[in-house]
């Protein structure tokens, strides 16, 4: 809430200084702050500086791109699709490239939200002012996070772990190449359908396709996210329309809601993506109405465009180089096991295990969230009364989660326990099996008799037994 408030306030001050309509900088300022808050942070200082510079440059580019969308829709669409596709494809170059590439869509989202009268403002020097707004938004988010860590003793966040996307999806192109191709085609089709079906309101179809496509893991997760996006858009649009009847567009209540609803979206996202989509649709509707656009007149058009964009993204993800959720989960389990090995090595050497353990916990959360569609499939089988004789695809994910508690107990115990070397060897065996599933791997060593290691070895054994289900 404070990040959005400070970013929008500083953007309004810069708009007065630059003598441009407030919407030209305030709308991007709100979007910049909220999208940056989606990043967990915690990167090294040098990477943070690079992220700030890249985000600022992309923020300025987004304003130029937004100015080209109306007079030159083809040029604007081609540049937008190319930048988005490249940001996904760079995931193949490792975690740092993944985090830097993620800055591009965070900033380019602002190019889809031009408002009335802004298109007539020359793109320069407005692009320069927008770059400064993006830099300020980055600084506000960073400063407030550091203040929270010092004043409220919040833990320092760990950078989001990124699994290697160089791995092959059974056969054919790598996962990153498949996702990049899906992103490019779905956005291109959404641009075309948006302009043909919805005229000047084309951006809602593109926005929906982008939100559904980015960050999905496999076909099941893509379909699930498409349904949630559609349901959230309907709820958010209806709720925002009801609010416009009760609230004055420039009243204090509307301004407060523009800051509060995104904060609520951050909380809701942990439990329901549909609720998150509803909150964000509500925010954008209130923001549009604040700058003079009638939400009531665009209700049906907006809903139709959002539905079309979601359907197109799901269709492309299922038909063009589809990615199996199992392939992505396997890659993220491999990243998590590398973190587990680092914790065991630090404990063996007597080094500090707090940071490695926190990184491992972050990777486990990534694995668990990437299996959303698999958990849903397992729940549906249970409701249908179907019993399995072989492990479900969620079995290795569940086993990995079960490694957390015994590992915490192990790191809290002083000194090395007998059998720790055997546990580390078991982790190495499973990692080799993940890297080369076609090569027979030796069996795991027997569980240690020590309580923390015994529970950890048992969880690792179940993880190894469940891995074939992901092949």
Kindly report, residue by residue over 122-144, the tens digit of the pLDDT. Answer: 777 888 999 999 999 999 999 99
Quick: pLDDT tens for 60-97.
Answer: 998 888 888 888 899 999 999 999 999 999 888 877 88
Quick: pLDDT tens for 368-403.
Answer: 988 888 888 888 888 888 877 788 889 999 999 999
pLDDT at 164: 45
* Separation in Å, CA 13 to CA 93, 278, 311, 471: 39, 30, 40, 55
Question: Average pLDDT for residues 245-264, to the nearest whole number?
Answer: 80
pLDDT at 293: 62
Residue 93 is given by DSSP the state G
Residue with tokens 């010092």: 150
* Beta carbons of 420 and 348 less than 8 angstroms apart: yes
pLDDT at 120: 60
Model confidence at 56: pLDDT above 50: yes
pLDDT at 163: 47
Residue among 67, 72, 38, 36 at smallest CA distance from 54? 36
Model confidence at 35: pLDDT above 50: yes
Quick: pLDDT tens for 290-315.
Answer: 766 665 566 778 888 988 999 999 99
259 confidence band (pLDDT: 50, 70, 90): confident
Choose the weakest-confidence range: 199-203, 215-219, 355-359: 215-219
pLDDT at 463: 93
Model confidence at 1: pLDDT above 50: yes
Averaged pLDDT score across all residues of the chain? 84
* Separation in Å, CA 448 to CA 93, 409, 431: 38, 14, 20
Give buried/exposed letters for 302-322 (b at 16+ CB in 10 A, else e): bbebbbbbbbbbbbbbeeebe
Angle at 133 between CA 285 and CA 64, to 5 degrees: 80
pLDDT at 165: 44
* Cross-strand pairs, 168: 174
* Separation in Å, CA 267 to CA 159, 273, 285: 20, 10, 20
Angle at 236 between CA 283 and CA 139, to 5 degrees: 25
Question: Average pLDDT for residues 335-362, to the nearest whole number?
Answer: 90
Question: Average pLDDT for residues 277-291, to the nearest whole number?
Answer: 78
Question: Average pLDDT for residues 15-41, to the nearest whole number?
Answer: 85
Choose the weakest-confidence range: 32-41, 200-209, 238-247, 448-457: 238-247
pLDDT at 171: 62
pLDDT at 158: 62
* Beta carbons of 331 and 164 less than 8 angstroms apart: yes
């Amino acid at each position: 809430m404070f990040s959005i408030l400070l970013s929008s306030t500083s953007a309004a001050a810069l708009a007065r200084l630059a003598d441009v309509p407030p919407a030209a900088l305030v709308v991007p300022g709100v979007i910049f702050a909220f999208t940056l808050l989606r990043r967990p942070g915690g990167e090294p200082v040098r990477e943070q500086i690079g992220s700030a510079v890249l985000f600022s440059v992309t923020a300025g580019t987004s304003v130029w791109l937004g100015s080209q969308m109306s007079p030159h829709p083809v040029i604007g669409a081609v540049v937008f699709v190319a930048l988005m596709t490249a940001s996904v494809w760079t995931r193949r170059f490792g975690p740092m490239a993944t985090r830097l590439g993620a800055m591009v869509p965070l900033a380019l989202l602002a190019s889809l939200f031009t408002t009335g009268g802004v298109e007539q403002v020359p793109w320069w020097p407005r692009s320069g002012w927008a770059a400064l707004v993006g830099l300020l938004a980055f600084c506000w988010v960073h400063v407030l996070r550091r203040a929270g860590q010092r004043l409220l003793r919040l833990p320092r966040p760990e950078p989001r772990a990124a699994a290697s996307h160089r791995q092959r999806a059974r056969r054919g192109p790598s996962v990153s190449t498949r996702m990049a191709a899906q992103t490019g085609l779905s956005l291109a089709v959404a641009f075309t359908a948006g302009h043909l079906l919805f005229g000047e309101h084309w951006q809602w179809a593109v926005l929906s396709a982008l939100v559904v496509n980015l960050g999905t893991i496999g076909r099941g997760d893509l379909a699930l996210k498409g349904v949630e996006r559609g349901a959230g858009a309907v709820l958010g649009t209806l709720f925002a329309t009801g609010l416009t009847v009760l609230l004055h567009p420039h009243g204090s209540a509307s301004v407060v809601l523009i800051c509060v609803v995104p904060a609520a979206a951050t909380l809701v996202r942990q439990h329901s993506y549909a609720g998150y989509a509803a909150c964000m649709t509500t925010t954008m509707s209130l923001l549009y109405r604040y700058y003079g656009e009638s939400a009531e007149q665009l209700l049906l058009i907006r809903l139709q465009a959002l539905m079309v964009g979601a359907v197109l993204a799901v269709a492309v993800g299922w038909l063009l180089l589809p990615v199996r959720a199992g392939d992505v989960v396997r890659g993220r389990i491999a990243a998590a096991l590398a973190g587990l090995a680092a914790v065991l090595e630090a404990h063996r050497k007597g080094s500090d295990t707090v940071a490695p353990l926190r990184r491992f916990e972050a990777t486990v959360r990534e694995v668990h969230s990437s299996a959303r569609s698999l958990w849903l499939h397992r729940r549906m089988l249970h409701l249908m009364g179907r019993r399995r004789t072989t492990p479900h695809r969620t079995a290795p994910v569940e086993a990995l989660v079960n490694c957390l508690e015994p590992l915490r107990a192990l790191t809290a115990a002083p000194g090395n326990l007998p059998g720790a070397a055997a546990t580390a060897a078991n982790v190495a065996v499973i990692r080799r099996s993940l890297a080369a599933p076609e090569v027979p791997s030796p069996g795991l060593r027997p569980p240690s008799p020590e309580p923390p290691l015994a529970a950890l070895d048992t969880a690792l054994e179940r993880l190894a037994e469940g891995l074939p289900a992901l092949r």
